[in-house]
Amino acid sequence: MKEEVQREAKRLLANAAIVLVRPKFAENVGSAARTAMNMGIGKLILVAPELPERDRMLKLATHNAAHLIDAIERHDDLAAALAPFGWVIGTSARQGKKRSTCKAPRQLMSEVLPRLAENRVALLFGPEDSGLATEELRYCNQVTTIPTADFSSLNLAQAVAILCHELHYGLLELLAGGELNPAPRQAEKGELEAMFAHVEEALLAVGFLKNEDDYWMRSIRHFLSRIGLRAKEIKIIRGFCRQLLWREGERSGAARPPGAKGGQSLNR
Amino acid sequence: MKEEVQREAKRLLANAAIVLVRPKFAENVGSAARTAMNMGIGKLILVAPELPERDRMLKLATHNAAHLIDAIERHDDLAAALAPFGWVIGTSARQGKKRSTCKAPRQLMSEVLPRLAENRVALLFGPEDSGLATEELRYCNQVTTIPTADFSSLNLAQAVAILCHELHYGLLELLAGGELNPAPRQAEKGELEAMFAHVEEALLAVGFLKNEDDYWMRSIRHFLSRIGLRAKEIKIIRGFCRQLLWREGERSGAARPPGAKGGQSLNR
């Protein structure tokens, strides 16, 4: 590979992160740090109540990836961890009915790689024993399953290595062909979450939803997550929500919601 | 993937093996067993003075790959371990001058996959700290380097996972396209080794080589390993060696070498 290709790959992969949800073994976190270092992935993020023991992580990270261990970003919940990401790839070993359409990592690359130019991209992995929960897969724009023979459950550290390799090598190949057409900036998961809160508030106000955590709200969430909304489209949806809330407020004679200005709903 | 594709992939991958040379950590052997199980690779072979502690291997192999741990084939030396293999892919992280031509695993697949039909294929990995020695790379038909960013040294278990994934997924893709044209049976490494001994004997007899372990012999070995001789071609080369030895024996008035019959040299 030419040097400029490697340099450009490194610049783009700085936008990628490995996100581990409640990993059980410190050694797997260490391995993930080493893989991140090997493949030029910019960041390692943990969703866990606390950081694993540093020495156990370092043993597998080796001193070469020690700086990534020291820079681990820890979050209590997944929504906070994913807030700045515009594209999330979830991993699943399960072959349940709902997941029969899961693509192999390589089949996602033509979609994922161009997003690295304008978006932060997360590779999301669940706990060693249970994988990502259905609720957690809702944050994902795409879900992938690494193809296996009889025994589908890969060790976490190996799954991380294979997915990061597919990302890194796929990008090298794409750049060597000189074909990266940057995909536009997606809305970040944090913007999406704020929008969902707004949508839920509006749908409750107009009586479409009966209570919070409604079945329909989960379906709407799923749908709006999957289609990959852009920042501008979120602005439109939220403007519409604000308008609904304003109308309801007027109807019930209450004061306007703070920040709402009636017809100027797109200015938010 | 369709079921028949997966079944055919499994049948072909039974001909593949992971060969670990002097691994230092039992855990990496356990991980390799699990990866073999995940990817349908038929066998795990160790070149080491003794087997690692079973419990430490099992911890990472999990009970799902326990049968592969119990079936590990151990050899004292690499030549014996590789004897039944017709094609050997070596792995190297080093970026030395001689290895600048190393291809990425994916670039080898069009060459390797058709060989699974008629040949046993070995994926060869060196020790964690030093990798394969130059002498060991001589046994390889191809040497591959997994592309990395700054830090080129992958953990052994991760390198095994990535290479096995490339083999498994590459085969699934190829079979899904319905395009496997079986490559002819290569000479096995054991047949090659017997031929090298014969070639060396003949070259010493005619005075082309001055002593054993000659520089030229290493080059000849390297060349003849690399070109992927078929069983039939080995027969021809050995017939020529026998003829040379017979002529030398006649010239010096000594008895014919055992098995040599002068002009009938191709019958061996």
Partnered with residue A166 across adjacent β-strands are none
Whether A56 has its CB under 8 Å from any CB of chain B: the answer is no
Question: What is the chain A residue with the closest CA to B11?
Answer: A149
Kindly list the structural domains of chain B, giving each domain's residue range(s) and its CATH number in brackets, ordered by start: 3-176 (3.40.1280.10), 189-267 (1.10.8)
**Mean pLDDT in chain B?**
88
- As a whole-number percent, the residues of chain B with pLDDT over 70 amount to 91
Q: Among residues A10, A16, A18, A70, which one has the least CA distance to residue A44? A: A18
pLDDT digit string, tens, across residues B11-50 = 999 999 999 999 999 999 999 999 999 999 999 999 999 9
Are the Cβ atoms of B150 and A39 closer than 8 angstroms? Answer: no
Whether B162 has its CB under 8 Å from any CB of chain A: the answer is yes
| pLDDT bracket for residue B255 (50, 70, 90) | low
Give me Rg for the CA atoms of chain A.
Answer: 21
ipTM of predicted complex: 0.83
Residue B171 has, within 13 A of its CA and on its CB side, a CA count of: 31
Length of chain A: 268
Determine phi and psi for B176, rounding to 5 degrees.
-65, -30
Measured torsion, CA atoms of residues A234, A237, A243, A244, in degrees rounded to the nearest 10: -130
The token pair at B123 is: 């994926």
Q: What is the pLDDT of residue A31?
A: 97
Nearest by CB to A39, from B31, B34, B148: name it. B148
Amino acid at residue number A231: A
Whether A151 has its CB under 8 Å from any CB of chain B: the answer is yes
pLDDT digit string, tens, across residues B91-116 = 998 665 544 568 999 999 999 999 99
Measured torsion, CA atoms of residues A249, A254, A260, A265, in degrees rounded to the nearest 10: 30
Q: Which residue has the tokens 């130059």?
A: B134
Q: With a cut of 50, say whether residue B268 has pLDDT above it.
A: no
Nearest by CB to A162, from B34, B104, B165: name it. B165
Q: What is the pLDDT of residue A267?
A: 41
Q: What is the pLDDT of residue A99?
A: 45
Partnered with residue B19 across adjacent β-strands are B45, B124
Question: What is the chain A residue with the closest CA to B5?
Answer: A149
Chain B residues whose CB is inside 8 A of the A6 CB are 149
Chain A residues whose CB is inside 8 A of the B161 CB are 154-155, 158, 161-162
Of A240-254, B45-59, B120-134, give the lowest mean pLDDT range: A240-254
Nearest by CB to A151, from B9, B64, B147: name it. B64
Residue pair A84/A185 in contact (Cβ under 8 Å)? The answer is: no
Distances (CA, A) of A175 to A4, A71, B178: 9, 29, 29
Q: Among residues B202, B195, B199, B23, which one has the least CA distance to residue B124? A: B23
Average pLDDT over residues B68-72: 95
Average pLDDT over residues B228-239: 87
The CA distance from B146 to the nearest CA of chain A, in Å, is 8
Chain A residues whose CB is inside 8 A of the B148 CB are 38-40, 168
Question: Under 8 Å CB-to-CB from A204, ≥6 apart: which residues?
Answer: A211, A212
The token pair at A103 is: 């693509």
Q: What is the pLDDT of residue A96?
A: 54
Chain A residues whose CB is inside 8 A of the B64 CB are 151, 153
Q: What is the pLDDT tens value at each position of chain A, 268 positions in all?
A: 578 899 999 999 999 999 999 999 999 999 999 999 999 999 999 999 999 999 999 999 998 899 999 999 999 999 999 999 999 999 998 665 444 568 999 999 999 999 999 999 999 999 999 999 988 998 899 999 999 997 778 999 999 999 999 999 999 999 998 878 888 888 899 999 999 999 999 988 888 888 776 778 888 887 887 777 888 889 999 998 998 899 888 888 755 555 544 444 444 3
Whether B109 has its CB under 8 Å from any CB of chain A: the answer is no
Q: Higher-confidence residue: B219 or A174? A: A174
Question: What is the chain B residue with the closest CA to A101?
Answer: B1
Q: What is the pTM of this model?
A: 0.85
Residue A49: CB atoms within 10 A of its CB come to 8
Q: Higher-confidence residue: B260 or A116? A: A116
Residue pair A23/A151 in contact (Cβ under 8 Å)? The answer is: no
Q: A150: which DSSP letter?
A: S
Are the Cβ atoms of B168 and A148 closer than 8 angstroms? Answer: yes
Residue A186 has, within 13 A of its CA and on its CB side, a CA count of: 29
> CA-CA distance, A261 to A231, in Å (whole number)?
21
